[in-house]
Amino acid sequence: METLALILAGGKGSRLDLLSQRRSKPAVPFAGKFRIIDFSLSNASNSGIMNIAILTQYLPFSLNEHIGSGRPWDLDRRDSSVTILHPHESWYMGTADAVNKNISFVKRKKPKYVLILSGDHIYKMDYRKLIQEHINLGAEMTIATKVVPFEDVSRFGILETDEKGYVENFVEKPKSSKSNLASMGIYLFNYETLIEALEETEKKHDNLDFGNHVIPYLIYDKKAKIGTYKYYDYWQDVGTYDSYLDTSLELNNQALELDLYDPTWRIYTTLDGLPPVKFGKDSNVQGSLISDGSIIEGTVINSVLSPGVYVRKGAIVKDSVILNDVIIGENVKLDRVIIDKSTIIGRNTVIGYGDDLTPNDEKPDLLSSGITVVEKRTIIESDLIIGRNCRILRDAEFKTKVIKSGTTVK
């Protein structure tokens, strides 16, 4: 075994709020039939990396059930494996701490290279190219990088390199920077380099983190050769309501930057054997992604529907993401709405009403652009008018028929 991939999949994803309230962020559904973690898993499988460990922590049950034996990603063969690693002594306190607390597993495998991946990004990458660049550079560690807009540098670890691509300086989430070369959170280590770096940095830090501790140690203390691999294709963090909705709706564009239909690089997932989509005689679907098992009797415009969604007669779904097994009643109107699984919406209800963009009363930093979010397994009454930037919780009590923009209903 030359390369062992460790996928960090324990994040709470607090900015996804209601969507990650009962599941980890990597387990959040995306693009109809997939989960976010499917992209990292499929990239590894397509790259021929067949020994994978997934480090879970926060609400792992949905994720564990989804991954199972790893069969959809061809990880149930004799010469491949997928291992789920849970915290067994204490909670993970940082990205590198998660790896360090499973270091005995890594040592038993003793690979030539260790590839550290995040389980919550949307992208298609051939990791073999990263490994080859690492070999060409003779590096001890290589960081996958992407050029980002200068106004976004505060969201990333930012690198400065020499003309050959070796890292000279690294700052985690700077307020401003003369460089806009960002770390993607994808790291390739020589086995010995990773072991030594973790052993040294854990002496000083409890909340051990790659960006804050391990990478600075390798650059400034060990003077290690750290290379960079520049990635130019599609890559997106869907960690906020806005990025989740916008990235989902981009899938409906004709010039699709993220090609889910490329037979040479498929994204695999667990199949559920649902029947084909059924369209009623009066249905109208425009520029949308509709998944298996859905029944469309109304109108769907520029939206993404997961498996098993039922849009009844007269309903209009626009610029929205609807997750599995949601029932949308007759004459319902949805505009810029994210609805989690197994929700039922009574007839004649309007969600995403009007032009009032008052930020959400409890989460103004998460909801201010007009998106309304409904939690999993919520029952929404008929004949309601619900504004924008609202949060509708599972056991919501609707004390009035008109819910103003910015309201949290619980």
3-state secondary structure the chain: CCEEEEEECCCCCHHHHHHHCCCCHHHCEECCCEECHHHHHHHHHHCCCCEEEEECCCCCHHHHHHHCCCHHHCCCCCCCEEEEECCCCCCCCCHHHHHHCCHHHHHHHCCCEEEEEECCEEECCCHHHHHHHHHHHCCCEEEEEEECCHHHHHHCEEEEECCCCCEEEEEECCCCCCCCEEEEEEEEEEHHHHHHHHHHHCCCCCCCCHHHHHHHHHHHHCCCCEEEEECCCCEEECCCHHHHHHHHHHCCCCCCCCCCCCCCCCCCCCCCCCCCCEECCCCEEECCEECCCCEECCEEECCEECCCCEECCCCEEECCEECCCCEECCCCEEECEEECCCCEECCCCEECCCCCCCCCCCCCCCCCCCCEEECCCCEECCCCEECCCCEECCCCCCCCCEECCCCEEC
**CB 10 within 8 Å of CB 122:** no
238 and 284 housed in the same domain = no
266 within some domain: no
259 within some domain: no
Quote the CA–CA distance of 207 and 33 in Å, as a whole number: 35
At which of 216, 250, 284 does a domain end? Answer: 250
Query: What are the CA-CA distances from residue 33 to residues 75, 94, 120, 271, 304 (Å)?
Result: 20, 30, 16, 8, 10
48 within some domain: yes
Residue 1 pLDDT: 67
258 within some domain: no
120, 91, 82, 85: which is closest to 105 by C-alpha? 85
132 and 205 housed in the same domain = yes
**264 CB contacts (<8 Å, ≥6 apart)?**
none
296 and 198 housed in the same domain = no
At which of 234, 250, 266 does a domain end? Answer: 250
What does the pLDDT profile of the chain (410 residues) look like in tens digits?
699 999 999 877 789 999 998 899 999 999 999 999 999 999 999 999 999 999 998 888 889 899 988 889 988 877 778 999 988 878 898 999 999 999 999 999 999 999 999 999 999 999 999 999 999 999 999 999 999 999 999 999 999 999 999 999 999 999 999 999 999 999 999 999 999 999 999 999 989 999 999 999 999 999 999 999 999 999 999 999 999 999 999 999 877 788 998 999 999 999 878 899 999 999 999 999 999 999 999 999 999 999 999 999 999 999 999 999 999 999 999 999 999 999 999 999 999 999 999 999 999 999 999 999 999 999 999 999 999 999 999 999 999 999 999 999 99
246 and 288 housed in the same domain = no
348 within some domain: yes
Integer-rounded Cα radius of gyration of the chain: 22
69 within some domain: yes
> Residue 141's domain is classified under what CATH number?
3.90.550.10
Total number of domains constituting the chain: 2
- Phi, then psi, of 254 in degrees rounded to 5: -65, -45
241 and 330 housed in the same domain = no
282 and 240 housed in the same domain = no
279 within some domain: yes
Lay out the sheet containing 310-311: strands in order across: 278-279, 295-296, 310-311, 327-328, 344-345, 379-380
At which of 198, 217, 250 does a domain end? Answer: 250
294 and 245 housed in the same domain = no
How many Å separate Cα 127 from the centre of its chain? 18
Domain interval for residue 18? 3-250
Residue 78 pLDDT: 73
What is the pTM (predicted TM-score) of this model?
0.93
50 and 194 housed in the same domain = yes
189 and 312 housed in the same domain = no
169 and 226 housed in the same domain = yes
269 within some domain: no
221 and 293 housed in the same domain = no
344 and 283 housed in the same domain = yes
Amino acid letter, 121: H
> Residue 410's domain is classified under what CATH number?
2.160.10.10
